């Protein structure tokens, strides 16, 4: 699972984007929402989700959660995007992703 944070159109907002396998995405979203991401005035737990296919080949000393070293793996993943209303919220959301 990867993630990045970019500035949205307003300087005080950041967009958090991450990919997760379908069986994990709800748990991950709840952790990130609990950190404060995905909030708008009068709304909470807001995000956008799209389905895609992730591809990777673990190499060297990799210890993959999915797949085997040296074998090309293709898996269904969900891309999730949500806004963070401040840099502090974005940092907390990224920390939640790392857990």
pLDDT tens per residue across span 1-24: 566 656 555 567 899 999 999 999
CA trace torsion 59, 63, 65, 68 (10° rounding) = 50
Of 97, 99, 91, the residue nearest 3 (C-alpha): 97
Q: pLDDT tens-digit profile of 57-88?
A: 999 999 998 899 999 999 999 999 999 999 99
Domain boundaries, the chain: 3-59+67-98
Strand partners, 4: 17
How far apart CA 9 and CA 21 sit, in angstroms, is 29
Q: Which CATH number fits domain 3-59+67-98: 2.60.120.10, 3.40.309.10, 3.30.70.120, 3.20.20.100?
A: 3.30.70.120
- Are 8 and 81 in contact by the 8 Å Cβ rule? The answer is no
pTM for the structure as a whole: 0.80
């Amino acid at each position: 699972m990867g993630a990045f944070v970019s500035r949205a159109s307003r300087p005080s907002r950041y967009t958090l984007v991450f990919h997760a396998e379908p069986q994990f995405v709800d748990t991950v979203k709840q952790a990130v929402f609990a950190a404060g991401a995905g909030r708008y005035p009068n709304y909470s737990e807001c995000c956008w989700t799209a389905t895609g296919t992730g591809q990777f080949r673990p190499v060297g000393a990799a210890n993959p959660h999915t797949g085997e070293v040296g074998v090309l793996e293709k898996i269904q993943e969900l891309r999730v995007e949500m806004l963070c209303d401040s840099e502090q919220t974005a940092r907390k959301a990224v920390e939640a992703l790392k857990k």
